[in-house]
Structure 1
Amino acid sequence: MEGDGGHGDGDGGHGGGDGTQGGGTQGDDTRDGGDGTCGLLERLSVTVTALRGQERPGDNAEQWRAVEVARTQEKEKVSGLERTLGTLRARAGQLASACRDKDATMKKLLMETEKLSAEVLGLRGQNARLQLQLEVQEKNHRDIVAVYRTHLLHAAQGFMDEGVHAMLLRILRTGEWGAGSGPLPSPPPSH
């Protein structure tokens, strides 16, 4: 790096010398059609190119090249790491968004599951109540059938009670009237 300063001073020296010489002849060249200014610019360009192409003297030149190579490699490495970091950040954002979506979906499904579980429990309770009612009605039906059988057996044997006879007639009339089979029959004479 110290070599840069030395060459910079040399550039200034050359530039000053060329500029001074060019300045003295510029008026002459301008009178000749402006070719002197172009010549001055060309000489400056050649000098700058030559100075840039020169190697730095001594061991510093090798060290400088090694440092430049290492710096270039580090820049490329940093650039690659920045690209990788950007990619990872984008992927992390996508994953976070997907997690939020899945969490929302899971919450919705959990709420629906709880709602359906409550409905199932309600239906089970209703089913149990209906089952109990059915059992009670079947028992009542069996009891009624047993009573009718007893009364029919007594009637067939001729032991029918007056009240039971009247009740059976009333039931018969109600059943026929409910079925829409016409007018009610008159009760038979009781014995």
Structure 2
Amino acid sequence: MASGGPTLCNDSHLASRMSSVSGTRPLQIAIIGGGIAGLCLAGTLAKFDSERKLNVVIYEATSSFQEVGAGLTIWGRSFQVMHALGLDEELAAINMAAASNHYFSYRRSDQGDEGHEFVRRTFGKGAGYHRAQFRAALGNYVARYPSIQVEFNKKLVSINHDTPSEYQVVFKDGTTAQCDVIFGTDGIRSRVRDAMLRTAATSVKRAGVL
């Protein structure tokens, strides 16, 4: 079976879209979801866009960068990413405490710490952060870049791909936006995934092979 319509964005797809856009305007990037993943993605695109060929817009469904949940721990490889983005000072300011590298231990449920420990799993040193503070730090980080815009109260409803060169994203408030590339960073109940698969399903056709 073969399908048409929008496709998930990867490195080759992004490069292809960049080459297809006229040099007179920047590539329009839509990031659906302003959580940790969306903010990190936007910051990465802007930081390494040395030729200023990208215009990034984050569409967040809520009214602000609010975050629920308690805390999270960042480990070695993630620290390398944060360092590459230049987030050292921001994260140092909100670091709750250095996390122990003792991450998992397995013992009988009816015994306390003094009981026999069957397995202990350790990792490299990490650091703990309150989730809301971590997201706020990322929000302040992306605010450094004039090529990044953030629009709140934008809940995705559908994605249209009526022309070969552009996508149209439709929001619950009735507004629309045009873009060249769409990234879905809107979580496990992704509206982007749902919209893309629905669009692809309407254009499925028999290819003659199994």
Q: What TM-score bracket applies, with the shorter chain setting the length?
A: under 0.3
Give the structure with the larger strand fraction: 2
Return the TM-score normalized by structure 1: 0.20
Q: Which has the larger radius of gyration?
A: 1
Q: Which has the higher contact order (CA 8 A, sep 6+)?
A: 2
